Every structure is written in C-alpha cells, then in structure tokens.
Amino acid sequence: MRVWRIVSWAGLLGSLYGLLCILGAPRVKWLTELGATAFDFGLIAAAGALALAFQIVGAFLTNRVRRRKLPWMIITILHRVLYSAIVVAPFLFADERVRMWWIVAFVLVHDALAHTGAPLWFSWMADLLPRDSMNLFWARRQRFITALTTVGMVAMALGFEWFERRGLVSLGYTLIASVGIILGVIDILMFHWVPEPPHEPLREQEFLRHLLEPMRDRRFRSFVIFMAYWNFAIFIAAPFFNPFMIEDLKMSALTVQLLGVASSVGMVVGSNFWGLLCDTYGFRPALQVLAVGKIFAPLYFIMLPADSRLLLPCLVVFMVIDGFLNAGTTLAPQGVLLKATPRRNRTMYIAVVNFLSIGLGATVASLLAGKLIDWLNTWAIVETHGYRLRGYHWAFLL
C-alpha cells in the first residue's frame, strides 16, 4: 500500500521527534542537571499520564466532525511546536523549583494536545486498513520505524556525548530537541498526501451515552481492569529506570542511550512475532504471556551484579529481552482497541480505556513511587556484600 508507506515514513519522523525530545537519555540527563529529583520524574510521568483524559475530548470531537485530517493536523502541529516552551525553561528561570514546575505544567499541556489528536488519528488509520490483516500492517510499520529509529538513537547518543564531555548538557539537549521539533512538524505535514475515508459523525446520541458505552460493554470491563492493574504496576518502576542508571549507576547518557538501542533491537525482532501471534491466536494469549514476562523487568534491576565488569553485559541482555516484550505490549493492547471495538464509537472506546487504564493507574503510581523514592533515599539505604540498595530498589521491588 503506497499510502501506508507514507504513513510509515511520517511515523519514523514522529518517532524521531519523540526520541530526540522526550524519550532519549539526553532529556533525563538534562533534567538531572536542572536538579530534578525522583519525585520530579514521577510528576512528569504523572502529568503525561493524566493528560490521557484529553483523549475523551478528542473522541468527542471525532464523533462530531465529518473530516478528521485538518483538525488533527492543526492540533498536532501546535503540540509539536509547544515543546519549545519546555526546552527554553533553563533560559527563563533561575529558581530551580519554579523552573521544574514550568516544565511539568507544559508537559501536561503538550501531552493534552497530543491526546486530543490521538483519537482522530487512530479512527482515520483504522479506516485505512483491512481488518483481517490489520495487526500485520501495524507490526511491519513498527518494525520499520524501530529499525531506523535505532540508527537515530546511535547518532543522537554520539552527538550528545560530545556536549556532555564538555559540560554543555543544556546546550546539547536544546540543539537536539530543536531538530526533533522540526522533524515532528514535517511528520504531520506528510499526512497531507494521505487520503481520508468517509467518516460519519455520531450526532444523534448524547455525549454521556457515548462516554459510558465502553464501560457497559462486559467484554471491555475486564480488559480495562486488567490494563489498569498492569499499568499501575509498570509505572511504579518504568519512569525511573533511566534516572536510576544515570544517578545510581553513574552511567553516561551515551551508555544509557546505547542500552536503548539494545531494546530497539529486541523490538525489531519481536514486532512480526507478536503481530502474527495476535492475528493467529488472538490477543488474550499474547497478553497473558506478556503479563508474566514484564513482571521480571524491575526485578532484574534489583539483582544487577555489583561487579562492574558484568553489569553492562547483563543490562544489554536484559534490554534486548525487554524490547522483545515491549513490541508485544505495544501491539496487543492496540490491536484490541482497533480490531475489537465497534467502528461506530471506536474513538470513545479507545479514549475511555486509555484514560481509565493508563491515565489513572500511571498517574497514581508515578506520584506515589516518586515520593517514596525521595523519602527512602534519605534513610533507607542498605549496603551488604557489595550491594547498595536505595529508594529506587525498594520501588522496583514493589
């Protein structure tokens, strides 16, 4: 499909935007340089999760408009450009706490815009693909994007290393994020050439009825409960993996980012596997296997060897395995939401499920875990047989 190639290339640029601005180790290093504590990292993760409530706004908008492309493009370009307000925070404020609250506030607004546009985009993309092979199309797109983003990870890590060695962390991240913002805007503009299938808005029903419909669906109630518990457990630990490696393990941003490359390799290897598994056997078996596998991620950080010669090889192996599982955790829930939801009210199903399962669960978990880590770091430090257990370890154990 020529159209899907455009979507895939645009998705690559969007992925690079996320990598350069949000997900890469340079941002963690930059925030650490600005004085961010574990609680601050928890606040930032919670703000991003809480913004998922705006998917409900986006779903309402999707159900009311006949054309989805133009509103989505306007909202998402604004979302990408707005990230510049976060990047300039160190140049605007000298006070550490004021600066951090500015960043948290704009993360919330930035992510709120992203989630407002998400239902419009997913509804549009779901109408483009054949239902019987939808997961395979998404898996191939994910593999393509992940493979090329991995190259971008290496280039970004090497480039940022030059700035980090010279004590120019803020300048380095500012330049990298600026490139990311430009690529992110180009990503959206490429969708000008992607056609939009006919879309019938739902004007005859009330908003409240649309909102409650997913929770009245018995099949979805169990899925929401499962995903809420899963995301609560994941977000007790996941937002703190990179800060832990930079602060506690004293790794450079280059090393942490190259470990991210190992994770990407696992995702590339796993994408087709999980896509075929979901198409062949359904989503339930895939989710059951993934739920068991992801239990061990935080435990692995607790059991890392104290011997520095073994530390890095062990982390590489873990990141490849975790990336393989992450390919499934992206595809399987997404597949349920795109394939097993009614086309008529699909966007509201996606919005409600994401907010209840990820928004609430991740927000509460991130805030509690961040506060707990800062509190435990002040007194609950245990040293035994070469191991040093701090607040991060206790959170990972939970």
Tell me the three state secondary structure of residue 204. coil
| Tally of domains within the chain | 1
Going by C-alpha positions, the residue among 199, 202, 150, 153 that lies closest to residue 327 is: 150
- H/E stretch holding 196 reads none
The tens digit of pLDDT for each residue in 141-166 reads 878 898 888 888 889 989 999 998 88
The tens digit of pLDDT for each residue in 346-377 reads 777 777 777 887 778 888 888 888 888 887 77
Q: In the chain, how long is the greatest CA-to-CA distance?
A: 68
Q: What is the pTM of this model?
A: 0.77
Give CA 273 to chain center in angstroms: 21
> From the DSSP assignment, how many helices (H) and strands (E) are in the chain?
20, 2
Q: Is the pLDDT of residue 98 over 90?
A: yes
Q: Give whichever of 88-97, 104-113, 223-232, 387-396 has the largest mean pLDDT.
A: 104-113
Residues whose CB falls within 8 Å of the CB of residue 348, separated by 6 or more in sequence, listed in order = 56, 59, 60, 63, 119, 210, 211, 213, 214
pLDDT recorded at residue 319: 86
Q: Is the pLDDT of residue 8 over 60?
A: yes
Go through the chain and tell me how many residues it has.
Answer: 398
> In this structure, are residues 100 and 34 in contact, taking their beta carbons and an 8 Å threshold?
yes
DSSP annotation of 345 reads: G
Going by C-alpha positions, the residue among 223, 188, 193, 197 that lies closest to residue 71 is: 188
Q: What DSSP string runs through 125-180?
A: HHHHS-GGGHHHHHHHHHHHHHHHHHHHHHHHHHHHHHHHHTT-HHHHHHHHHHHH
Helix axes 253-281, 134-165, angle to 10 degrees: 180
% of the chain with per-residue pLDDT over 70 = 89
Bridge partners of residue 389, in order along the sequence: 382
Split at pLDDT 50, 70, 90, the class of 101 is: very high
What type of residue sits at position 70?
Answer: L
CA 381/CA 38 separation, integer angstroms: 15
Split at pLDDT 50, 70, 90, the class of 397 is: confident
Q: What is the mean pLDDT of residues 13-32?
A: 91
> In this structure, are residues 164 and 282 in contact, taking their beta carbons and an 8 Å threshold?
no
pLDDT recorded at residue 254: 83
Tell me the three state secondary structure of residue 88. coil
CA distances from 194 to 3, 4, 67, 338, 346 (A): 6, 8, 13, 19, 21
- Output 347 or 56, whichever has higher pLDDT: 56
User: CA torsion 313→365→110→171, rounded to 10°?
Assistant: -40
Residues whose CB falls within 8 Å of the CB of residue 331, separated by 6 or more in sequence, listed in order = 135, 138, 139, 142, 271, 274, 275, 278, 286
Range of the domain at 381: 2-199+206-397
The tens digit of pLDDT for each residue in 164-191 reads 888 899 999 999 999 999 999 999 999 9
> In this structure, are residues 92 and 174 in contact, taking their beta carbons and an 8 Å threshold?
no
Going by C-alpha positions, the residue among 398, 349, 350, 339 that lies closest to residue 372 is: 398
Q: What is the mean pLDDT of residues 73-100?
A: 94
User: CA torsion 295→335→56→369, rounded to 10°?
Assistant: 10
> In this structure, are residues 87 and 178 in contact, taking their beta carbons and an 8 Å threshold?
yes
The 10 Å Cβ neighbour count of residue 379 is 7
Question: CATH code at 246?
Answer: 1.20.1250.20
Give CA 79 to chain center in angstroms: 15
